[in-house]
């Protein structure tokens, strides 16, 4: 069960962006598993992809198509990653793009494919082709929730967020959906995420804003330290509102709205981490630079011993100090480190804080949401990381995933 996470009951439609989903029988029965998105003829599309060298065929094709020109169509399937499939996988990804292009009379480079699911299985192209006419006929602007459900795999909760902001020359709306529950780690954090806006913004500016938003959201989360072969984050700007954030103030307002959508989706992924029972924010402050703070936060977040202690609600704070100590910080002064959890001061000057009691620690660690605050007292830089615990269910889910 996801930690304090409810599925949205409605998501704002985006003018000019239409979606449709259906059950194509790719892997699942009795549920939708295929999505088609029309971003519009004049859309700007920016995307970030996995840095895993063993990237999936759809990632390779989507990158090439974006580089080749103006994207318009997104074709997304769940249940089959089309990864580890070699040349036949590339041919399959291209064939699905060609199916859309043939029906829409658009160039094949206008179609961007995305897949998620089991690695190493051939993509059932014929099932996707058979479903395309119905998807094209069913496109509508208010189908974000249906699309969000269709892209889920081991997710237990639909993930979506909407924001509306007013700029100096009008109002713009942003809506996003995401899937992700396991294989969650930066570069890109493992997931598929699709965000739309009716703002009018060029692709170069959109890409820069997306990189900024991802840095403090999708690239700041981890569940298990595994980065997938298929990670993709896409932002589509249809331009249909006619509102263009050109002034610095407007650009910052828009950027903050995009940041907010990305963080909401990223947090939802961690809250729905496979088997998660705790949602954890790790704040490292007092670092000499951001890289140093990030290294400490990530070491703590990835520690199996820390994560299993959190699952047990065990205030075994020595595991946190041990993780900090092996983070590789140069000239580290352990006698300056301070640690608190949910406002309870646990360690000061590298040791147990005066006044700390096991009962206070138990109350802090027993909460569903944990704020772990680490101060290195070395500088003024900070970094925040989002993670969850490791439970028995994490092992069960991943042991049984292909069954």
Predicted confidence (pLDDT) per residue in 355-366, tens digit = 999 999 999 999
Instruction: State the burial class of residue 400 (Cβ atoms within 10 Å of its Cβ: 0-12, 13-18, 19+).
Output: exposed
CA distance 267 to 377: 28
The full set of domains in the chain, from first to last, is 18-271 (3.60.70.12), 279-399 (3.10.20.340)
Helix, coil or strand: residue 34: strand
Phi first, then psi: give them for residue 175, nearest 5 degrees.
Answer: -135, 140
pLDDT of residue 402: 52
- Average pLDDT of span 293-308: 94
* Tokens standing for residue 261: 């959508």
Residue 187 has pLDDT above 60, yes or no: no
Compute the distance between CA of residue 61 and CA of residue 45 in angstroms, rounded to an integer.
Answer: 15
Which one is predicted more confidently, 28 or 274?
A: 28
- pTM (two decimals): 0.93
Does residue 107 carry a pLDDT above 80? yes
Over the stretch 196-249, which tens digit does the pLDDT of each residue have?
999 999 999 999 999 999 999 998 988 765 566 678 899 999 999 999 998 999
Once rounded to an integer, what is the mean pLDDT over residues 123-142? 98
Across the chain, what does the average pLDDT equal?
92
Catalytic residue numbers, as ranges: 190
* pLDDT tens, position by position, 366-401: 999 999 999 999 999 999 999 998 888 777 766 765
Q: In sequence order, what are the residues at sequence separation of 6 or more whose Cβ sits closer than 8 angstroms to the Cβ of residue 275?
A: 390, 391, 392, 393, 394, 395, 396, 397
**pLDDT value of position 274:** 75
Percent of the chain scoring above 90 in pLDDT: 80
Alpha-carbon distances of 86 from 185, 285, 340, rounded to whole Å:
24, 44, 49
Residues 6+ apart with CB under 8 A from 86: none
Statement: residue 189 has pLDDT above 80: no
Confidence of residue 54 (pLDDT cuts 50, 70, 90): confident
Q: Each residue of 5-25: pLDDT tens digit?
A: 999 999 999 999 999 999 999
């Amino acid at each position: 069960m996801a930690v304090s996470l409810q599925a949205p009951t409605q998501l704002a439609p985006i003018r000019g962006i239409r979606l449709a989903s259906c059950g194509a029988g790719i892997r699942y029965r009795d549920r939708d598993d295929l999505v088609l998105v029309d971003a519009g003829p004049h859309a700007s599309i920016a995307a970030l992809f996995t840095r895993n060298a063993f990237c999936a065929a759809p990632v390779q094709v989507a990158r090439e198509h974006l580089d080749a020109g103006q994207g318009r169509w997104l074709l997304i399937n769940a249940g089959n990653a089309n990864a580890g499939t070699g040349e036949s996988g590339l041919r399959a990804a291209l064939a699905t793009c060609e199916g859309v292009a043939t029906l829409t009379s658009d160039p094949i480079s206008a179609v961007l494919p995305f897949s998620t699911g089991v690695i190493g299985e051939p993509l059932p192209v014929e099932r996707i082709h058979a479903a395309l006419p119905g998807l094209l006929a069913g496109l509508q602007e208010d189908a974000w929730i249906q699309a969000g459900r269709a892209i889920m795999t081991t997710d237990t909760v639909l993930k979506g967020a909407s924001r509306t902001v007013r700029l100096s020359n009008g109002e713009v709306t942003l809506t996003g959906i995401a899937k992700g529950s396991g294989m969650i780690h930066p570069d890109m954090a493992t997931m598929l995420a699709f965000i739309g806006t009716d703002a009018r913004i060029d692709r170069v500016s959109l890409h820069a804003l997306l990189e900024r938003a991802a840095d403090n959201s999708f690239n700041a989360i981890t569940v298990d330290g595994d980065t997938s072969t298929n990670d993709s984050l896409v932002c589509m700007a249809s331009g249909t509102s006619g509102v263009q954030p050109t002034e610095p103030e407007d650009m910052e307002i828009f950027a903050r709205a995009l940041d907010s959508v990305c963080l909401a989706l990223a947090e939802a992924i961690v809250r729905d981490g496979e088997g998660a029972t705790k949602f954890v924010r790790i704040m490292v402050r007092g670092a000499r630079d951001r890289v140093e703070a990030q290294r400490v936060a990530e070491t703590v977040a990835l520690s199996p011993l820390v994560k299993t202690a959190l699952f047990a609600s065990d205030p075994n704070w020595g595991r946190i100090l041990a993780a900090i100590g092996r983070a590789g910080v140069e000239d580290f002064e352990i006698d300056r480190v301070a640690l608190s959890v949910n406002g309870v001061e646990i360690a000061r000057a590298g040791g147990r804080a005066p006044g700390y009691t096991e009962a206070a620690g138990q109350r802090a660690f027993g909460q569903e949401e944990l704020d772990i605050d680490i101060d290195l007292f070395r500088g003024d830089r900070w970094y925040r990381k989002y993670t969850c615990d490791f439970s028995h269910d994490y092992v069960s889910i991943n042991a049984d995933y292909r069954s």
